A and B are shown apart, each in its own frame.
Chain A
Amino acid sequence: MNLAHIHLLINHFPTIGTIIALGLFLVALVSKSSDLRLASLVLFFLISLITLPTYMSGNAAEEMLRGRTGVSFAAIEAHRNAAQLAVVFMELTGVISWFGLWKFRRQSSFGRGTLPAVLLLSIVTLGVVGYAANLGGGIRHPEIEDSDAKKIPGAKKVLVVPEQRVVVKELEVGGISDFVTDHKWMWPAFQTLHLMGLSLIMGVVLLIDMRMLGVAKNVSFRAVHRLLPWGVLGFSVNALTGMLFFAARSAQYTTNAVFQWKMALVILAGINALYFTMLDDAWTLKAGGDASLAAKAMASLALCLWVAILFCGRMLPFLGGAF
């Protein structure tokens, strides 16, 4: 199993997964069931997490296909551009969904604009994802090639003619990659933002750990819970800057084992965050109370995960043969 194979496997989550999540969400809206609404928001959130490695494995698949015949690189580029847009909308849907889960925990309501926003965003996401997925089909399906290959919009360079082995040059063409190359201050600026984002995350994790592990018992978890959106803000800043780094210089990330570890850990950390956002175990912890073993374990896990993620990120130039 290689990265291209993984891409073909997990791309079903942002596509079929979104269809199912949206379907469930529509049922939830009509039925007015809180449980179904919560379930749909959780689904949207989880799908937004797995969309990240889906995109990245797609990049790896692209790199693997270079120099091959019978592959339309115009289709690949069109697919990738559409996928980038799809990722943006998917992550937005995920963040707003998380916010709905957070709000519901606190007030047993989702907040005034939240569900409409999720509805709108998820529909747009599904549209863009579907468009991207359809373009993806045009890459290496000869049975649909004739009808679709000519209609690929926005493809800037047609680099390969099928049946001819052509040496393909660097495919990070145009857009973000050139922008970063031409504006040398962008990379350090976005790295600085990335560091600020991770500091916010670490601050919130420290606070949660202090409460759960008994150092600052005189506050209820409800009060700590109030600060979770700041952690999610840090996470969002880092997801955004991270996607920029990846889009601009994907070659140094896709096959980098340390980076792959980092992404796997980020997904685990996202799921860990759901525990503190939603579950009763943490929520019911009063001021002065002792946290349950599970809550302590999850809090310790959060700290380990985030330090490990920081480690992987900092080690990217040194381990894994990147840069």
Chain B
Amino acid sequence: MDFLNTLEHNAFSQWVTNSPSAWAFPTFLFLHTTGMSIVAGGSAIIDLVLLGTWPSLPVKPLVRLYPVIWVGFWMNAITGTVMLCADATAKLSSPDFYLKMVFVFSGVYVLHAMRKTVFADPQLDKGPVPRSAKMWALASLFCWFAAITAGRLLAYVGPNKGAIGG
């Protein structure tokens, strides 16, 4: 598509891809990795506590992780879009990229659902963790770790394998 080509050959995108400066592609990649660790790490903590058998560890306070997780998410939405622009034609014709997006947005949906069901439950921390909550936690772990895998593989599969940062 012409639009994608324009995006890629835009002077800014060219700077991101081709500049030898550490502030270009490497910095976006670094910020993206940091955001990933916040999102995956933060939700992993929530998930592990829900799945774990530690009756004296309250789940409710962990809801405070949500704002931090969202910060990580938006960091990645922004840095991810920039990096996507810089490699638009290759990424958008890579099945792995779409797979990653499916897992990312599934993970977001699960986090959102957990907020609305598990954390809104008035019985939370008053009894054992309900099985449905554990199912959500498993789904969340799966989504984020699948997203990480799909993301890491982007440097190895698809049209631009072997590209920088692999």
What residues make up the interface of A, taking CB atoms closer than 8 Å to B? 188, 191-192, 195-196, 198-207, 210, 215-216, 218-219, 223, 226-227, 230, 307, 310-311, 314-315, 317-319
In the complex, the answer to whether A319 meets B37 with C-beta atoms within 8 Å is no
What residues make up the interface of B, taking CB atoms closer than 8 Å to A? 22, 25-26, 29-30, 33-34, 36-38, 40-45, 48-49, 54, 56-58, 61-62, 64-65, 68, 144-145, 148-149, 152-153, 155-156, 164-166
18 contacts between A and B (CB under 8 A): A188-B156, A191-B152, A192-B153, A196-B148, A199-B37, A199-B144, A200-B41, A201-B41, A204-B41, A206-B42, A210-B64, A210-B68, A223-B57, A226-B54, A307-B34, A314-B33, A318-B25, A318-B165
Report A288 CB to chain B, min CB distance, Å: 11
Known: A192-B149, A195-B152, A196-B40. A317 touches B64 (CB 8 A): no
Q: How far is the CA of A207 from the CA of B48 in the complex (A)?
A: 13
In the complex, the answer to whether A314 meets B29 with C-beta atoms within 8 Å is yes
In the complex, the answer to whether A200 meets B44 with C-beta atoms within 8 Å is yes
Majority secondary structure of chain A interface residues (helix, strand, loop or mixed): helix
Q: How far is the CA of A206 from the CA of B61 in the complex (A)?
A: 13
Report B165 CB to chain A, min CB distance, Å: 6
In the complex, the answer to whether B45 meets A206 with C-beta atoms within 8 Å is yes
In the complex, the answer to whether A218 meets B30 with C-beta atoms within 8 Å is no
Majority secondary structure of chain B interface residues (helix, strand, loop or mixed): helix
In the complex, the answer to whether A204 meets B58 with C-beta atoms within 8 Å is no
Known: A202-B41, A314-B33. A227 touches B148 (CB 8 A): no
In the complex, the answer to whether A227 meets B45 with C-beta atoms within 8 Å is yes
In the complex, the answer to whether B64 meets A227 with C-beta atoms within 8 Å is no
Q: How far is the CA of A207 from the CA of B42 in the complex (A)?
A: 8
Q: Which of A202, A307, A310 has the most CB of B within 10 A?
A: A202
Report A21 CB to chain B, min CB distance, Å: 32
B residues in contact with A199, CB < 8 Å: 36-37, 40-41, 44, 144, 148
Q: How far is the CA of A319 from the CA of B42 in the complex (A)?
A: 29
Q: How far is the CA of A205 from the CA of B38 in the complex (A)?
A: 10
Report A219 CB to chain B, min CB distance, Å: 4
B residues in contact with A216, CB < 8 Å: 61-62, 64-65
In the complex, the answer to whether B153 meets A315 with C-beta atoms within 8 Å is no
In the complex, the answer to whether A314 meets B26 with C-beta atoms within 8 Å is yes
B residues in contact with A195, CB < 8 Å: 33, 36-37, 148, 152
Report A215 CB to chain B, min CB distance, Å: 6
Q: Which residue on B lies nearest to A233, using beta carbons?
A: B48
B residues in contact with A219, CB < 8 Å: 58, 61
In the complex, the answer to whether A317 meets B164 with C-beta atoms within 8 Å is yes
Q: How far is the CA of A318 from the CA of B22 in the complex (A)?
A: 7
Q: How far is the CA of A80 from the CA of B126 in the complex (A)?
A: 55
Q: Which residue on B lies nearest to A225, using beta carbons?
A: B57
Q: Which residue on A lies nearest to B148, using beta carbons?
A: A195
Known: A188-B152, A203-B45. A215 touches B64 (CB 8 A): yes
Q: How far is the CA of A181 from the CA of B54 in the complex (A)?
A: 43
Q: How far is the CA of A191 from the CA of B33 in the complex (A)?
A: 12
B residues in contact with A210, CB < 8 Å: 64-65, 68
- Besides A188-B153, A310-B37, 5 more A-B contacts (Cβ < 8 Å) are A188-B155, A200-B44, A203-B40, A317-B165, A319-B22
| 8 A-B pairs with least C-beta separation | A203-B41, A202-B41, A202-B37, A199-B40, A216-B64, A199-B41, A318-B26, A203-B45
A residues in contact with B148, CB < 8 Å: 192, 195-196, 199
Q: Which residue on A lies nearest to B157, using beta carbons?
A: A188
A residues in contact with B64, CB < 8 Å: 210, 215-216
Q: Which of A192, A198, A207, A311 has the most CB of B within 10 A?
A: A207
B residues in contact with A311, CB < 8 Å: 30
Report B11 CB to chain A, min CB distance, Å: 21
Q: How far is the CA of A25 from the CA of B114 in the complex (A)?
A: 47
B residues in contact with A307, CB < 8 Å: 34
A residues in contact with B30, CB < 8 Å: 310-311, 314-315
Q: Which residue on A lies nearest to B40, using beta carbons?
A: A199
In the complex, the answer to whether B164 meets A207 with C-beta atoms within 8 Å is no
Q: How far is the CA of A292 from the CA of B36 in the complex (A)?
A: 30
B residues in contact with A207, CB < 8 Å: 45, 62, 65
In the complex, the answer to whether B45 meets A230 with C-beta atoms within 8 Å is yes
In the complex, the answer to whether B36 meets A227 with C-beta atoms within 8 Å is no
Q: How far is the CA of A218 from the CA of B42 in the complex (A)?
A: 18
Report B127 CB to chain A, min CB distance, Å: 18
Q: Which residue on A lies nearest to B68, using beta carbons?
A: A206
